[in-house]
Amino acid sequence: MEEDGGRGAAAGPAASARFVRCLYAVGFLDLFGVSMVVPLMNLHIKSLGASPTVAGIIGSLYGIMQLFSSTFVGCWSDIVGRRYSLLACILLSALGYFILGMSTTVYLFAISRVPVGIFKHTLSISKALLSDLVSERDRPLVMGRFNAASSVGFILGPVVGGYLTELKDGFYQTSFICASIFLLNAGLVWMLPWSEENTGNRKQKQGKKRTDSITAKPNCDLQLTSVTNGTVASDSPFQSPWVQIVTVLKRIKGIACSDLWDIFLVRLLMSVTILLYHSNFSLALEERFGVKPLFSGYLMSYSSSLGVLAGCLLGPITRLYQHNTYRLLLHSSTFTCTLILLYASALSIWMVILSSTFLAFSTTIGRTCIIDLELTIGGNEASGTLLGVGQSVTSVGRIIAPLLSGIAQEFSPCGPPSVAVGLALVAILIMNVNKQKYCSSGNVKLKNQ
């Protein structure tokens, strides 16, 4: 018995490592498939005879569905388990892209966006699963690598999609290939090593975190912890739908009543900051420096590639900061604010290139740190719910940013980045005001060492 237990303990880390590497592949395939199709969708709907207004409404429909479904799907994954929720999301997204591949009318095109808008949360559930599998100390490193793998897919996808669309019925072929990639992803998820050892290790780790969190985390989060503790142990995909709905609503109420507003507000402000920076990037460079859109495209690809590198470097950076996520987030946000200010006041294109180079690092680090801080303060037991709420917050930012950008551009091409600097300063101020809360959570972060 002891020998068997020893072999299981030894096999656990190796199995977890294989699991994590497979999830990197899931993230890569997901964004690779999506990025093949998304850049071509506006051209396709225009070819179907849709007016710009109709195309805009259908595009907004996807964002609105993502806004409301992110929290519910993330919470649902906490209840029924990651495996079944991840499979359901991938397969239903594949259905949406299959319908898109048959969309010969605007009506079919709109219908195809519904399952994708509701269930395209593969990356959020994958991140929640990674959070379940790894220790809090290793979480930023693993999340950074996952984001890097996904970003590689997002870089390569448009190239393949652009090539395929030049063929006869290219858009339809690209959509079917995208759907096939999602089916391949579903098969990969099904074949992941969902071993008893992994499951046992994960439950044991979560049980330890529950015990520690009640004594170590701030009292303001006890309500959230109590809500989540009652349901994790009895998770089953075959529960009554009404039971699942009631549990989802309880979890969302627990998030709403917890003292996490400042974390999500910081995430909203920094999301809008980055979106404002990108909102008129090509147009502003053309108006300010006379550069062609092709150069802007090369510069954005260059920044995306550096973002992949930044994700891979998160391990050494977090070790340099002694795994203090709050301090790393504060410094990256301050650096982001300074670089956007440099971009807004740039007198030459070389200053723009310099700011874009370092922004790729600071924004990638900041995105990973805010997720890690959410999970640390909110509790890893509700990781799906927390990531879902965070995704909804980002969706709100995607709705607000274009409006702010349009108003700011009425005054100057530098208007959007100038507003972004102001919002980043507010986020930095909020983090400094709540410094004591974050620092106490930073001590909890190392409880598993």
pLDDT for 266: 92
190 & 268 share domain: no
Helix axes 383-409, 261-279, angle to 10 degrees: 40
In eight-state DSSP terms, residue 258 is S
pLDDT for 381: 63
155 & 284 share domain: no
33 domain residue, yes or no: yes
The boundaries of the domain holding residue 68 are: 2-198
The last residue of a domain, from among 168, 198, 228: 198
pLDDT for 446: 33
pLDDT for 200: 43
192 & 304 share domain: no
287 & 418 share domain: yes
214 domain residue, yes or no: no
pLDDT for 8: 36
pLDDT for 242: 63
432 & 316 share domain: yes
pLDDT tens for each residue of 1-33: 444 433 333 345 666 778 888 899 999 999 999
Taking the C-alpha atoms of residue 207 and residue 200, their distance in angstroms, rounded to an integer, is 10
The last residue of a domain, from among 149, 171, 198: 198
Q: Counting every residue, how long is the chain?
A: 449
Burial (Cβ within 10 Å: 0-12, 13-18, ≥19) of residue 400: middle
pLDDT for 131: 86
The CATH number of the domain holding residue 11 is: 1.20.1250.20
Taking the C-alpha atoms of residue 264 and residue 261, their distance in angstroms, rounded to an integer, is 5
Taking the C-alpha atoms of residue 437 and residue 449, their distance in angstroms, rounded to an integer, is 21
Taking the C-alpha atoms of residue 208 and residue 295, their distance in angstroms, rounded to an integer, is 52
- Cβ–Cβ contacts within 10 Å for residue 396, how many? 16
Element (H, E) at 422: helix 415-433
177 & 263 share domain: no
332 & 193 share domain: no
194 & 302 share domain: no
pLDDT for 319: 87
Q: Tell me which residue of 101, 98, 23, 93 sits closest to 62, measured CA to CA.
A: 93
244 domain residue, yes or no: no
149 & 287 share domain: no
241 domain residue, yes or no: no
Please list the rounded mean pLDDT of every run of 10 residues in the chain (449 residues): 37 70 92 88 84 80 85 85 90 94 90 91 90 85 90 86 82 92 94 59 45 36 37 48 67 68 90 88 82 78 86 87 89 95 91 92 91 80 79 86 84 89 94 77 39
37 domain residue, yes or no: yes
302 & 399 share domain: yes
384 & 290 share domain: yes
How many structural domains does the chain have? 2
369 domain residue, yes or no: yes
Taking the C-alpha atoms of residue 123 and residue 129, their distance in angstroms, rounded to an integer, is 10
Q: CA separation (Å) from 442 to 130, 212, 255, 402?
A: 20, 14, 20, 35
239 domain residue, yes or no: no
Taking the C-alpha atoms of residue 369 and residue 384, their distance in angstroms, rounded to an integer, is 17
pLDDT for 206: 47
151 & 265 share domain: no
The last residue of a domain, from among 174, 198, 222: 198
231 domain residue, yes or no: no
Taking the C-alpha atoms of residue 251 and residue 227, their distance in angstroms, rounded to an integer, is 6
Report pTM: 0.77
